[in-house]
Structure 1
């Protein structure tokens, strides 16, 4: 019996040792790969921003073009001033939205996009025209779809009203239905549409069957809940509780440094 116990003890010891070694190897690999993963994520976001702005071209040097054409800023969504003490490369909108100390809880009555919380600061990407001026901006947008949160970017012309482009880069919508938010043909229908009416209120709308006019885009066929989610997130993010006052400052050239 003692020999059997001794054998069992050795077996358990070997298994535990192997588990320990494997866990160390996996942990080490995860730590070693983290910088690469972060670089890849940053590059992917740069591509998304350039794509939304209509700048991305096949084979281009994305980091170089991004540096030349995009000016990232972190802006307060409380007083709409540039946060000079926050490095845009270190800021993450999603992490800020999930941090109670850096976000604001939204009551359901003011949360049509189903966000729960809204970050107190956001990253804004000004599009540079190459002559020292600005000819638009790219903004983060997100909201609930049918199966989860849809994450995207919207680019605006230099009137900060007309849509230059839109890019939904992460979602869990149904392929062939709500997943068509990434369809280039549908995305293209956003170009040239206006977000605001003459009264300064958000007029943009996704409509069923035959969108017409400067404020309308066709809803996705067979994807009512996804379309409603996209409509709701535009209503929220372009409204007074998010980017509305910021865009007004940009139009007037009044965006100031904090």
Structure 2
């Protein structure tokens, strides 16, 4: 009996396959089978492609970030070997609380976004003009030195919310920690032709030579349509037709250059303690 039942089950299985193969090509079972098979094969191909291309994507993102650092520091030219040129920059992980460098993290691998999500390495902001939610207690900054070893430029990462997106970029300061050499964003999703004008070379050029603080040490840098009472040396004209994006840039620059950001570090820099 068991042998007969096995043969019967086998016969039924063959009968099902045969019945399926004998169905018309446009039958519902065959149509569903082909659709499901195609979906499975396509998903496997897409997944395999995504995994295989991830290292290339990460390398391209790193290269783009380095190019932006070179550009904001004024040392990038078309055809520049990015890897070699970037070797002139010293990355350091900065403790925002003390304004001093820390050796607790490797600056070449430190992940600021991950740190911002770690309660042990970050803090929730109650006064949050930049709209970033949580702030990492540590930031990777970059120093560019002259041939004699003295500091030439200081490159500080900044980010904050504009109109539609978080803008990520860098502010380059002169060695005195107060004169702005340049500002550049490398990632955002602002409106093309309006807020996206933060990428316009003419608007970026307005930042060169501006000052962060007045002689009393008060933060005065402003992005607005009207210069502040302190004077035009602290003023960058707002982008026409992009009031909210301009306000976002104003907020994020003031936040990061202020007491919650790099103020302690910049004071140490000016005191010769860096």
- 2:71 is matched with 51
- 1:37 is matched with 57
Rounded Cα–Cα distance in structure 1 between residues aligned with 2:227 and 2:105? 45
Instruction: Identify which of structures 1 and 2 has the higher relative contact order when contacts are C-alpha pairs closer than 8 Å and 6+ apart.
Output: 1
Deviation at 1:128, TM superposition (A): 1.5
Deviation at 1:26, TM superposition (A): 2.3
Deviation at 1:9, TM superposition (A): 6.3
Which of 92, 98, 105 aligns to 1:79? It is 98
Rounded Cα–Cα distance in structure 1 between residues aligned with 2:58 and 2:225? 40
Which of 227, 247, 253 aligns to 1:234? It is 253
Gaps in structure 1 of 5+ consecutive residues: none
| 1:112 partner SS | coil
Deviation at 1:70, TM superposition (A): 0.8
The 5-angstrom pairing of residues 98-177 of structure 1 reads 98-107=117-126, 110-177=127-194
Deviation at 1:183, TM superposition (A): 0.9
| 1:189 partner SS | helix
Does the 8 Å contact 2:94/2:102 carry over to 1? yes
User: In terms of mean alpha carbon deviation, does 152-161 or 218-227 score higher?
Assistant: 218-227
Which of 116, 127, 145 aligns to 1:97? It is 116
| 2:163 partner SS | coil
Can you list the C-alpha shifts for 1:168-207, whole angstroms capped at 9, x where unaligned?
1222222222211111111111101000112222110123
Rounded Cα–Cα distance in structure 2 between residues aligned with 1:140 and 1:250? 16
Rounded Cα–Cα distance in structure 2 between residues aligned with 1:37 and 1:171? 18
- 1:246 is matched with 265
Rounded Cα–Cα distance in structure 1 between residues aligned with 2:114 and 2:213? 30
The 5-angstrom pairing of residues 190-205 of structure 1 reads 190-205=207-222
Can you list the C-alpha shifts for 1:58-117, whole angstroms capped at 9, x where unaligned?
1111110110x211111112223322232222123233323444321000xx21111111
- 2:44 is matched with 24
Does the 8 Å contact 2:143/2:154 carry over to 1? yes
Deviation at 1:5, TM superposition (A): 9.9
Can you list the C-alpha shifts for 1:115-160, whole angstroms capped at 9, x where unaligned?
1111111010111213322112001111111111111110000001
- Structure exhibiting the larger radius of gyration computed from Cα positions: 2
| 1:122 partner SS | strand
- 1:61 is matched with 81
| 2:154 partner SS | strand
Rounded Cα–Cα distance in structure 2 between residues aligned with 1:234 and 1:117? 16
- 2:244 is matched with 225
| 1:229 partner SS | helix
Aligned residues, how many?
A: 252
Gaps in structure 2 of 5+ consecutive residues: 1-14
